[in-house]
């Protein structure tokens, strides 16, 4: 029951007697049938296993908002690296889920003398008992199948788990080895078909084409940065003054959305650099990192660019070594390059990231060739409790009601991230790099998932937004593009997602995408968009026109959420729904058929860049 309280909005109901208990009856019936001694020990083991599954499911849900299956738990080694984030979400009452194990263990210890003694009942009585429990097992299997089979076609994983029962859903996910998606032959995936599904009419003379040709391209990915931070003030204090200034002075896209999955930050890197969607399940860096992928670094390399990526964590976290090989970065700079100085969470803080990266960018610029550099910030990471000290006068003084809350810690952490970013901008200008740079800045993914917030946090978010914090608010991230002589102060309300960055940058850099499959679109030359979502939202979810659509069992019982509060949640037709699913199928088909790159072999150089 506790798991249902945590995961499902309506909590448990009488239905769990039908959906959850039969699976437990099945396990315990098998113990009664097959074990003649040590039964209590087997009960403790079975109870611990089932409790462990349920505990993992609701803790994973608190962090990701996803019903975890064995596919997700295969990456548990990556999740343990963010254990501070996961365990910060625990409420003390969650430990009640282990109460029955404690009771059974106490009974086991108390009766340990009888543990290894066989049953003393007469043979006929034992046979009747086993037959009775055999009937329980058969009935339990029937009830489990009754819950599973009619609900297999449900698009929404939450709905599917609720209708099947969590334990039945986990068993179904474990035994269901095949994808429900029928992949296409790679030659069937054409740019014309993609453009048709998205309703695009490519222009022969797009605006801004080549406007930043030959300029260095610097892309900054901000950790956990949501769009509501832009312009936010608390008691008259700007939460992000430097990014506010950039948004006011450049192209600012305020209807821009995340498109990540289990890999979070690494998935954002993949989507931005490839203009493909994340896989059906799992992280892109696990499923696609060994592929030879069409990408932004390769596209710009054909234009004479060198490329490098900068991240203060170790490169093997989320398999980035292979990812960087797949997308074609010439160099990567990770923890050995940045060192342990001022370490926060996984590596050096953002000030170290920007300072050391700036020195390297000066070296790259001195070569006389243009460069593409991607910077991955990290200090503002969940649970947002390790914010470095800032100089006097730069700190953000939180209102008292924000103290000791996740929302308050988040805003304070992002205030530091903004401060460090502002110093980087100053460095670009002082070094002379600014005038010859196309700067692209965006958030990688949400920082305040709805499912992680307690009552007080939700009240604070409602205060900030002026309405209840919803899914469109959660996945909304900012995008800013700045380049002297190219961009001007302009708020652009074109709907966009991370998949659109590659074609937008390519257009500005004057790099033709003819012959390169991509699923995004140039945001400076489009007015409409269709953005499929995966993982953080149920399968079949998509953004289009003025709404976010989330399906139920199918399209008919789905829900539309307005992208802008107070406006109608229009669009999201059944045709849009079908086209969004087909776009995902095309991406999966093309990526699956790509050849592998043969493994990453980056030579070391003298300053630990690789």
The string of pLDDT tens digits covering residues 481-537 is: 999 999 999 999 999 999 999 999 999 999 999 999 999 999 999 989 999 999 889
Q: What CATH number is associated with residue 369?
A: 3.40.720.10
Q: Quick one: 53 and 171 in the same domain?
A: yes
Kindly report whether the peptide bond that precedes residue 383 is cis, defined as omega within 30 degrees of 0.
yes
Answer whether residue 24 is part of any domain. Answer: yes
Same domain? For 165 and 224 the reply is no
Same domain, 133 and 269: no
* Residue 59: predicted pLDDT: 76
Q: Which of 527, 552, 576 is the last residue of a domain?
A: 527
By DSSP bridging, strand 476-482 and strand 237-238 are: unpaired
For residues 170 and 214, state if they share a domain: no
* 76 pLDDT more than 60: no
Q: Where are the alpha helices (DSSP H) in 74-226?
A: 76-79, 83-87, 99-110, 123-148, 157-164, 166-175, 191-198
Backbone angles phi, psi at 399, to 5 degrees: -55, 150
SS3 451: helix
Establish if 167 belongs to a structural domain: yes
More confident of the two residues 83 and 549: 549
**How buried is residue 206: exposed, middle or buried, by Cβ count under 10 Å (0-12/13-18/19+)?**
middle
In a domain, 604, yes or no: no
Q: Which residue has the higher pLDDT, 286 or 532?
A: 532
Let me know if residue 288 belongs to a domain: yes
> Does residue 238 share a domain with residue 127?
no
According to the model, what pLDDT value does residue 11 have? Answer: 62
Chain center to CA of 381: 13
Residue 459 vs residue 385, higher pLDDT: 459
Structure tokens at 318: 């989320």
| Contact status, residue 381 vs residue 375, Cβ threshold 8 Å | no
Q: Which residue(s) pair with 353 in the sheet?
A: none
Residues 155 and 216 in one domain: no
* Percent of the chain whose pLDDT exceeds 70: 89
Q: What is the pLDDT of residue 170?
A: 86
Last residue of one domain, picked from the residues 502, 527, 552: 527
Q: Are residues 125 and 48 in the same domain?
A: yes
At 382-398, the pLDDT tens digits run 888 888 888 887 889 99
Residue-wise DSSP of 117-159: PPP-S-HHHHHHHHHHHHHHHHHHHHHHHHHHGGGTT-S-HHH
The stretch 201-218 carries a mean pLDDT of 94
Using the predicted structure, report yes or no on whether residue 81 has a pLDDT greater than 70. Answer: no
The reply to whether 15 and 85 lie within a common domain is yes
- pLDDT value, residue 10: 64
Answer for the pair 332, 602: CB distance below 8 angstroms, yes or no: yes
Assess whether pLDDT exceeds 90 at residue 63: no
User: Mean of the pLDDT values across residues 123-146?
Assistant: 83
> Is the per-residue pLDDT at 77 higher than 60?
no
Domain co-membership, 499 together with 370: yes
Which of 132, 158, 175 is the endpoint of a domain? 175
Does 312 lie in the same domain as 395? Answer: yes
567: its two tokens: 């406006």
My answer on whether 91 and 21 are in the same domain is yes
Phi, psi values for residue 561, rounded to 5°: -120, 125
Residue 156 and residue 538 in contact, taking contact as beta carbons nearer than 8 Å:
yes
Most confident range (mean pLDDT) of 91-105, 264-278, 386-400 is: 264-278
Measure the CA–CA gap between 545 and 529, rounded to whole angstroms: 7
Does residue 343 belong to any structural domain of this protein?
Answer: yes
Task: Residue 490: give the domain boundaries.
Answer: 209-527
**Mean pLDDT of the 556-565 span:** 93
Please state, rounded to an integer, the average pLDDT across all residues of the chain. 88
pLDDT over threshold 70, residue 261:
yes
- Rounded average pLDDT over 439-456: 94
Strands 437-443 and 233-234: unpaired
- Same domain (yes/no): 163, 262: no
User: Among residues 353, 345, 355, 356, which one has the least CA distance to residue 380?
Assistant: 345
Distances (CA, A) of 439 to 216, 378, 483: 8, 18, 6
Which pLDDT belongs to residue 355? 97
The count of structural domains within the chain is 2
Pairing of strands 331-333, 306-311: parallel
Which pLDDT belongs to residue 545?
84
Within-domain flag for 593: no
In a domain, 520, yes or no: yes
> Does 38 or 522 have the greater pLDDT score?
522
Instruction: Give pTM, 2 decimals.
Output: 0.87
For the cut 90, the answer to whether the pLDDT of residue 130 exceeds it is no
pLDDT of residue 606: 37
pLDDT at 604: 47
Is position 153 within any domain?
A: yes
- Could you tell me whether strands 437-443 and 216-222 are parallel, antiparallel, or unpaired per DSSP bridges? parallel
25-30 average pLDDT score: 88
């Amino acid at each position: 029951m506790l798991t249902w309280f945590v995961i499902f909005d309506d909590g448990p109901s009488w239905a769990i007697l039908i959906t959850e208990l039969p699976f437990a009856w099945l396990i315990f019936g098998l113990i009664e049938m097959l074990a003649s001694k040590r039964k209590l020990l087997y009960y403790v083991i079975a109870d611990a296993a089932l409790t462990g599954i349920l505990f993992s499911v609701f803790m994973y849900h608190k962090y990701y908002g996803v019903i975890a299956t064995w596919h997700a738990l295969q990456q548990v080694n990556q999740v343990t690296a963010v254990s501070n984030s996961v365990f910060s979400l625990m409420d003390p009452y969650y430990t009640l889920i282990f109460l029955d194990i404690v009771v059974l263990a106490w009974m086991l210890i108390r009766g340990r003398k009888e543990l290894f003694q066989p049953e003393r009942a007469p043979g006929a009585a034992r046979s009747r008992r086993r037959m009775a429990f055999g009937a329980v097992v058969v009935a339990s299997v029937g009830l489990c199948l009754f819950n599973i089979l009619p609900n297999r076609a449900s698009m929404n994983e939450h709905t599917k788990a609720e209708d099947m029962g969590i334990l039945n859903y986990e068993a179904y996910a474990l035994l269901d080895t095949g994808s429900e998606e029928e992949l296409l032959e790679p030659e069937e995936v054409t740019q014309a078909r993609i453009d048709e599904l998205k309703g695009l009419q490519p222009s022969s003379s797009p605006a801004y084409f080549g406007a930043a040709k030959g300029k260095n391209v610097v892309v900054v990915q901000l950790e956990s940065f949501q769009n509501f931070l832009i312009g936010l003030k608390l008691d008259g204090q700007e939460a992000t003054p430097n990014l506010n200034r950039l948004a006011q002075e450049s192209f600012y896209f305020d209807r821009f959305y995340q498109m990540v999955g289990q890999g979070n930050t690494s998935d954002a890197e993949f989507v931005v650099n490839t203009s493909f969607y994340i896989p059906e399940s799992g992280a892109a860096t696990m499923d696609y990192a060994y592929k030879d992928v069409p990408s932004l670094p390769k596209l710009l390399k054909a234009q004479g660019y060198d490329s490098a990526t900068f991240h203060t964590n170790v490169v093997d976290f989320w398999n980035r070594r292979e990812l960087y090989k797949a997308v074609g970065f010439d160099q990567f700079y990770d923890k050995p390059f940045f060192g342990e100085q001022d370490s926060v969470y996984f590596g050096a803080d953002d000030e170290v990231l920007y300072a050391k990266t700036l020195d390297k960018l000066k070296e790259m610029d001195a070569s006389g060739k243009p460069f593409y550099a991607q910077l991955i910030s990290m200090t503002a990471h969940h649970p947002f409790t390790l914010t470095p000290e800032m100089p006097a006068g730069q700190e953000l003084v939180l209102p008292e009601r924000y103290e000791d809350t996740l929302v308050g810690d988040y805003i304070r952490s992002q205030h530091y991230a903004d401060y460090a970013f502002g110093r980087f901008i100053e460095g670009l200008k002082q070094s002379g790099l600014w005038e010859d740079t196309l700067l692209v800045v965006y958030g990688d993914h949400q920082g305040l998932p709805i499912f992680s917030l307690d009552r007080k946090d939700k009240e604070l978010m409602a205060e900030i937004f002026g309405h209840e914090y919803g899914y469109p608010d959660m996945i909304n991230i900012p995008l800013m593009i700045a380049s002297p002589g190219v961009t001007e102060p302009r708020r652009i309300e074109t709907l966009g997602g991370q998949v659109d960055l590659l074609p937008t940058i390519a257009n500005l850099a004057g790099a033709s995408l003819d012959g390169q499959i991509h699923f995004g679109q140039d945001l400076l030359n489009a007015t409409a968009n269709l953005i499929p979502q995966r993982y953080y939202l149920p399968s079949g979810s998509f953004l289009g026109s003025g709404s976010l659509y989330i399906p139920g069992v199918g399209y008919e019982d789905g829900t539309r959420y307005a992208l802008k509060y107070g406006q109608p949640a229009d669009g999201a037709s059944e045709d849009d729904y079908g086209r969004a699913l087909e776009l995902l199928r095309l991406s999966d088909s093309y990526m699956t058929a790509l050849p592998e790159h043969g493994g990453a072999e980056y030579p070391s150089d003298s300053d630990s860049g690789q």
